[in-house]
Structure 1
Amino acid sequence: MPQAKMKFAIDDGSTNVKISWIENGLVRSITSPNSFRKEWKSAALLSDKKVFNYQVGSTKYTYDATSDKALSTTHVAFQYDDLNLLSVHHALLQTGIQPCPVSILVTLPITEYYNADDCQKNEENIARKKANLMREISLNKGELFQIVDVQVLPESLPAVLTTLMDSGVNPYTKSLVIDCGGTTLDMGVIVGEFDDVSAVYGNADIGVSMVTDATRKALAAADSDASYLVANELIKRRQDRDFVGDVINDLSKVDWVLGKIDEKIAELGSAVAYEAKTFARNPNRVYLVGGGASLIEPAIRDAYPSLGDKIVLVPEPQEALSREICCYHAADPQTADAV
């Protein structure tokens, strides 16, 4: 088997794949959205536009950012299926690095990584994830990275390593980490500067997909069928009236669509806040990470009013996990299995 030339830290979430690597001593990161449909695209009209047509087994897929036929990835089964394999390989190609043999560190939601009954590693799920990403895949008229080694880490908690160690906490400080992703909500309580993890919790039924699905339905009602990627972009840029006007065809329903989005964001925030208060009633600090962190921030501040500035939205929360995994694991292949 070829030796890996590089190691990549990959937070392969259902909505976006976040990937980080070390280049010339610096950590670099990109975010690659997931938007794939079956069958291939024809060649691009413009010479500078690349078409990504893949094949897994006998099934053909293509990357299509705007198609309303894009396949759903907002389910836990995504972690072990063709779409996960596609999303990781597609993200690697977006790094701009020449394809080569690579070692990758990927993630699983807490609910999948740990057994619910004893909080020990779910070795079966970890093995399934590794096997899925070692499968054969091809790119029509193109070259792919060769994945020669896969290591699996739990989501959420490593995302706050640097932030926590730079915060001056004492050995008795209890920090609640809330990771609101596309499909799952992961939480954990960290003691001190990562001296101990006292509890973990996950809910596979709460995530930004609640907002995304409602947004797609609202867009369809406004004669504006859209892909998951476009719906998520609208959620992020809902204050940009020019962008909103470009996405929504029936302009008479713009305010109605935006109202539906705001309602669902409030519902997501309330659901996360309820779960957080049930899981950790009175933490000393709260750290928000993941793609939905900014959406739930107001609800979490309302849920823990006495904490004030001890509630922290981690910088660039969507890429935080892949960056931290890269900093603490990607440079040292001996440490990855210690998590």
Structure 2
Amino acid sequence: MQASMTKFAIDDGSTNVKISWIDNGEVRSVTSPNSFRKDWKSAALLNDRKVFNYQIASTKYTYDATSDKALSTTHVAFQYDDLNLLSVHHALLQTGVKPGPVSILVTLPITEYYRADDCQKNEENIARKKANLMREISLNKGELFTIVDVEVLPESLPAVLTTLMDSGVNEFTKSLVIDCGGTTLDMGVIIGEFDDVSAVYGNAEIGVSMVTNAARKALSAADSDASYLVANELIKRRHNREFVEEVINDISKVDWVLERIEDKITELGAAVAYEAKTFMRNPNRIYLVGGGAMLIETAIRNAYPSLGDKIVMIKAPQEALSREICCYHAADTQAEAV
């Protein structure tokens, strides 16, 4: 009897890849940061530290969490390039599942998945994404998964599927979903319990990368050049003084660096709130998802003061999309089997 092929749901964002799969009836999830540079690393001194040296065509890459030479992934072109292929395969290796043939569900930002003029699927972009992930890649002294099937889905909206089903909304409820990711801001209006999607909107110029880039510039000015991964970790752990002082070399500039980060977080929140109010002035509910959800929560609550507890941050907002896609397609598969 042939074993069934594992299917992974992957939200391959520019900053982190979030991956979910079903393991013995339970949903498992892993978040894998993107931090790659060109050329290979030498073998690690410690036996328990694995080195990930990849090759795509004639170009060599390595995973390097701390290098300030890490390649930028905070641009829409990331969805179709070597770094996207690297990030997906690297994330698959972090699952602990034995490499073999796999089927994957991946995502595209709303601005890439739908055409701006008529809101229909952009089949060209979808085909480009599939073709990119089917390309050959090798891991030096290691085995990779073989991607045999790729399905592409739009970002953000499926992340609230379970939450909406359990929320008691009626058929007229208008729910605004705000997904603030590393590079893009995606929004959509859902009617009822996913009875209809009445509008979608995306802005490829607004994302957490605004804060990340500001953090890296401030770190550089404080004699602390850092990778995108380290800068993002500093943003997340900015209230942990011990961690902050480990990352910033010039201790006299610690408060200055933190102020630059807070200023940019405020700017990001204001930009998202403005876009949200322009897109949907008076929704009945708001759901926040994506890696930047916690950074913009205060700004959204201030922009929609009358909604109160009807503004909800989805549990584990960064992994919500991959988790929900995984559950939804697992249920579909089971239904087809019956």
TM-score (norm 1): 0.97
Q: 1:230 to 1:177 in 2, by over 3 A?
A: same
Give me the whole-angstrom Cα distance separating, in 2, the residues matched to 1:321 and 1:146: 23
> Once the two structures are superposed, what CA deviation does each residue of 1:20-58 show, in whole Å capped at 9, x if it has no partner?
000000000010000000000000000111000000000
Structure 1 pair 268/122, CA: closer, same or farther in 2 (3 Å)? same
* In structure 2, C-alpha distance between the alignment counterparts of 1:335 and 1:38, rounded to whole Å: 45
Aligned amino acid, residue 93 of structure 2 = L
Give the match for residue 163 of structure 1.
163
> Gaps (5+ residues) in structure 1?
none
Alpha-carbon separation, structure 1, partners of 2:274 and 2:81: 31
Asked if 1:103 corresponds to 2:117, the answer is no
Pair 277,219 (structure 1): closer, same or farther in 2 beyond 3 Å: same
Instruction: Give the secondary structure class of the aligned counterpart of 1:261.
Output: helix
- Displacement of 1:329 in angstroms is 1.2
| Aligned amino acid, residue 254 of structure 2 | V
Partner of 1:52: 52
CA distance in 2, matches of 1:76, 1:190: 25
Residue of structure 1 equivalent to 2:244: 244
Corresponding residue SS for 1:243: helix
Which residue of 1 is the match for residue 259 of structure 2?
A: 259
Aligned residue in 2 for 1:291: 291
- Is 1:233 the counterpart of 2:233 in the alignment? yes
Residue 279 of structure 2 aligns with an amino acid whose one-letter code is F
In 2, Cα distance between the equivalents of 1:223 and 1:17?
Answer: 29
User: How far apart, in 1, do the equivalents of 2:34 and 2:4 lie?
Assistant: 25
Q: Does 1:10 align with 2:10?
A: yes
Instruction: Please give the alpha-carbon distance, in whole angstroms, between the structure 1 residues aligned to 2:79 and 2:335.
Output: 23
The code of the aligned residue for 1:157 comes to L
Is this contact kept in 2: 1:57–1:137, CA < 8 A?
yes
Between the aligned partners of 2:177 and 2:3, the Cα distance in structure 1 is 36
Pair 282,263 (structure 1): closer, same or farther in 2 beyond 3 Å: same
What corresponds to 2:134 in structure 1?
A: 134
Determine if contact 1:329/1:335 at 8 Å carries over to the other structure.
no
**Paired residue for 1:116?**
116
Contact persistence 1:184–1:205 (CA under 8 A): yes
Q: Please tell me the residue identity of whatever aligns with 1:146.
A: T
SS in 1 for 2:32: strand
Letter in 1 for 2:224: S
SS of the counterpart of 2:176?
A: strand
Cα distance between partner residues in 1 of 2:258 and 2:238: 7
Structure 1 runs of 4+ off > 4 angstroms?
A: 333-336
| Aligned mates of 1:328, 1:106 — CA distance in 2 | 14
2:62 counterpart of 1:62: yes
Which residue in the other structure is 1:19 paired with?
19
Q: Is the 8 A contact 1:216 1:226 kept in 2?
A: yes
How far apart in 2 are the matches of 1:268 and 1:48?
A: 39
1:221 Cα deviation (Å)?
0.1
Task: Encode CA deviations 1:218-254: one digit per residue, 9 max, x unaligned.
Answer: 0000000000000000000000000000000000000
Runs (5+) with no aligned partner, structure 2: none
What is the aligned partner in structure 2 of residue 207 from structure 1? 207
Which residue matches 1:143? 143
Deviation at 1:332, TM superposition (A): 3.6
- The code of the aligned residue for 2:175 comes to S
Distance 1:270 1:170, change over 3 A: same
User: What pairs up with 1:182-221 in 2 under 5 angstroms?
Assistant: 182-221=182-221
Deviates more, 1:138-147 or 1:321-330: 321-330
Q: Structure 1 residues 166, 205: closer, same or farther in 2, change over 3 A?
A: same
Distance 1:47 1:29 in 2: 26
Residue 294 of structure 2 corresponds to residue 275 of structure 1: no
Q: CA deviation at 1:3?
A: 8.9
CA distance in 1, matches of 2:177, 2:335: 22
Match of 2:158, SS state, is helix
Displacement of 1:19 after TM fit? 0.1
TM-score by length of 2: 0.97
In the other structure, the counterpart of 2:39 is 39
Counterpart CA distance in 2 for 1:83 and 1:258 is 30
Aligned 8 A contact 1:20 1:29 in 2 = yes
Which residue identity does 2:64 align to in structure 1?
D
Assess if the C-alpha contact under 8 Å between 1:4 and 1:103 holds in 2: no
Mapped partners of 1:286, 1:203: distance in 2: 18
Q: Distance in 1 between matches of 2:45 and 2:330?
A: 39
2:62 and 2:251 map into 1 onto residues whose CA distance is 31
Structure 2 counterpart of 1:307, one-letter code: L
Question: What per-residue deviation string (whole Å, max 9, x for no partner) do you get for residues 80-107 of structure 1?
Answer: 0000000000000000011010000000
One-letter code of the match for 2:222?
A
Q: What's the offset of the Cα at 1:312? A: 0.2
Q: Answer yes or no: is the 8 Å Cα contact 1:156–1:179 preserved in 2.
A: yes
> C-alpha offsets along residues 287-311 of structure 1, whole Å, 9 cap, x if unaligned?
0000000000000000000000000
